[in-house]
């Protein structure tokens, strides 16, 4: 061990450097006594441990990755702090996976960078991983927030009058809290806590809304829009979750600088409406046409909308400004392509063809070589293959996980 000298009252003390570091951490409040309880996961124990954990934060790492090396002591200290606050070993679990030793697990959870911190609830992996600050304080606070009850109990139905209709609200009316129906609802709320506000009323408070048993409704965004009632079985988790997810996670999501990394990492192209924040009419029209023309393309392209003022830079990439909004564009993570005219968005099949032309390579091909012969006017195909232009480079790729924070694993993309 390296050693360091401390001079105190003319006595020279030679202490191991590791001891000094430990003392410094404790003085700074960054360390707690005791051995960190980090569970190492492998193929034999991963399902059992995660399925029996209320909340599990799993560090997927590689020993050779310098960012993983830097995270290890922080992760351990955060585990110590959380263990003191939540001593039940099944309530919160800190775990890790050596992805070199267990590549099958890394593939199962689609790990594309080191380190990756994924959150699990009762064995189910949450869509949003931990992307916050890598500090003891931040990680411990993240886990504390996960312990907050995601369901707000209502003590009077008059509380519904104060609902924020700018948010997606799901409300459950139950006879009692200790019921299979409510336990299912609570589990769904835990998973979708970042996407919807969940409320519940019980007993006499909820009686007027329980015409034929326990009842769950969704209140859409905006005023004067009718409620939507869940008609499935409340004891069937899969059905309840699928219904709630459909209501809580919109088909067209807003991209922000906060969620840009997460959306980019999904790895599929963006179809984006750039609009002025107050221009809800264009957004509604875009949402309607995406639902009408492109529902079958869900999973192959992300449908997004973005604030023109906040995302001026991507607009400049395609030679547009906020004054040109609303503007529709595709970012394939290699290039950006502009939908010719927003006014054409409601022409049947027009938006769908724009997306299909991306997948077929036609958009990229025409940027380099001009219109396809089949689309040309007579004589246009005799231009000698001169490139019409070069497509603007991807702008949103810059929001992807940074190499100054992660070791990014190799990932090939098609030339689109």
What digits encode the pLDDT tens for the residues 190-210? Answer: 999 989 999 999 999 999 999
pLDDT tens string 261-270: 989 888 899 9
Q: What are the CA-CA distances from residue 135 to residues 47, 126, 139 (Å)?
A: 28, 21, 6
Identify the sign of the CA torsion 304, 308, 312, 318.
positive
401 in helix, strand or coil?
Answer: coil
pLDDT tens string 7-20: 334 334 443 433 33
| Contact indicator for 276, 309 with CB cutoff of 8 Å | yes
CATH class of 39-147: alpha beta
pLDDT over 80 at 416, yes or no? no
342 in helix, strand or coil?
Answer: helix
Higher-confidence position of 267 and 280: 280
Asked whether the domain spanning 253-372+386-408 has the same topology as the one spanning 39-147, the reply is yes
CA–CA dist 253, 249 (Å, integer): 8
The topology under which CATH files domain 253-372+386-408 is Glutaredoxin (3.40.30)
Q: What value, to the nearest 5°, has the Cα angle with vertex 181 and ends 180 and 186?
A: 95
CA–CA dist 151, 141 (Å, integer): 19
**258 token code pair:** 């906060």
CA–CA dist 74, 135 (Å, integer): 6
Name the pTM for this structure: 0.75
Identify the sign of the CA torsion 241, 246, 247, 250.
positive
pLDDT over 70 at 4, yes or no? no
pLDDT tens string 162-185: 888 888 999 999 999 999 999 999
**77 token code pair:** 């200290």
pLDDT tens string 355-392: 999 999 998 887 766 666 655 444 334 434 444 456 78
How confident is the model at residue 35, as a pLDDT? 58
For range 298-307, the mean pLDDT: 94
| Contact indicator for 401, 261 with CB cutoff of 8 Å | yes
How confident is the model at residue 373, as a pLDDT? 62
Q: In what side-by-side order are the strands of the sheet with 38-40?
A: 38-40, 92-98, 55-61, 116-121, 124-125
| Contact indicator for 29, 38 with CB cutoff of 8 Å | no
* pLDDT range class, residue 25, cuts 50, 70, 90: very low
DSSP 8-state assignment for residue 118: E
32 closest CA partner among 66, 72, 83: 83
**262 token code pair:** 């997460």
Q: What value, to the nearest 5°, has the Cα angle with vertex 220 and ends 215 and 224?
A: 105
CA–CA dist 375, 378 (Å, integer): 10
194 closest CA partner among 144, 154, 147, 150: 150
CA–CA dist 283, 291 (Å, integer): 12
15 in helix, strand or coil?
Answer: strand
How confident is the model at residue 36, as a pLDDT? 62
- Name the H helices within 304-410: 312-317, 350-360, 362-369
Residue spans of the domains in the chain: they are 39-147, 151-248, 253-372+386-408
CA–CA dist 259, 253 (Å, integer): 10
CA–CA dist 197, 325 (Å, integer): 31
The yes/no answer on whether domain 151-248 falls in CATH 3.40.30.10 is yes
170 closest CA partner among 103, 113, 243: 243
CA–CA dist 168, 227 (Å, integer): 11
Cα atoms found within 13 Å of the Cα of residue 414, Cβ hemisphere only: 10
Q: Is 258 exposed, middle or buried (0-12, 13-18, 19+ CB in 10 A)?
A: exposed
159 in helix, strand or coil?
Answer: helix
| Contact indicator for 32, 47 with CB cutoff of 8 Å | no
């Amino acid at each position: 061990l390296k050693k360091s000298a401390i001079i105190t009252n003319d006595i020279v003390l030679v202490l191991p450097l590791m001891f000094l570091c430990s003392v410094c951490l404790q003085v700074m409040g960054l360390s707690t006594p005791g051995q960190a309880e980090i569970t190492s996961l492998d193929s034999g124990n991963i399902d059992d441990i995660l399925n029996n954990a209320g909340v599990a934060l799993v560090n997927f790492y590689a020993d050779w990755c310098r960012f993983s090396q830097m995270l290890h002591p922080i992760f351990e200290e955060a585990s110590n702090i959380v263990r003191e606050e939540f001593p039940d070993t099944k309530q919160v679990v800190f775990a890790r996976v050596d992805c070199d030793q267990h590549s099958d697990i890394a593939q199962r959870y689609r790990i594309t960078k080191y380190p990756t911190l994924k959150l699990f609830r009762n064995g189910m992996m949450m869509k949003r991983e931990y992307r916050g600050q890598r500090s003891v304080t931040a990680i411990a606070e993240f886990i504390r927030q996960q312990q907050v009850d995601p369901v707000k109990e209502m003590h009077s139905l008059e509380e519904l009058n104060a609902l924020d209709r700018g948010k997606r609200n799901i409300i459950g009316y139950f006879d009692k809290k200790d019921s299979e129906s409510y336990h299912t609802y609570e589990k769904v709320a835990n998973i979708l806590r970042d996407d919807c506000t969940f409320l519940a009323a019980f007993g006499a408070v909820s009686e007027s809304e329980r015409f034929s048993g326990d009842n769950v409704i969704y209140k859409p965004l905006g005023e004067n829009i009718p409620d939507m009632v869940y008609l499935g079985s409340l004891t069937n988790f899969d059905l309840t979750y699928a219904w709630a997810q459909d209501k809580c996670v919109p088909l067209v999501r807003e991209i922000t600088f906060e969620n840009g990394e997460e959306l980019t990492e999904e790895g599929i192209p963006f179809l984006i409406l750039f609009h002025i924040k107050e221009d809800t009419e264009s957004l509604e029209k875009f949402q309607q046409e995406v639902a009408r023309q492109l529902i079958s393309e869900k999973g192959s392209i992300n449908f997004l909308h973005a604030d023109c003022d906040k995302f001026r830079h991507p607009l400049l990439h395609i030679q547009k400004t906020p004054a040109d909004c609303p503007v529709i564009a595709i970012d394939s993570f290699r290039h950006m392509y502009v939908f010719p005219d927003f006014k054409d968005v409601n022409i049947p099949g027009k938006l769908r063809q724009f997306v299909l032309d991306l997948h077929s390579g036609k958009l990229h091909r025409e940027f380099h070589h001009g219109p396809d012969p089949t689309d040309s006017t007579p004589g246009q195909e005799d231009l000698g293959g001169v490139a019409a232009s070069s497509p603007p480079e991807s702008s949103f790729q810059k929001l992807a996980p940074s190499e100054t924070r992660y070791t990014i694993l190799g990932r090939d993309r098609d030339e689109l």
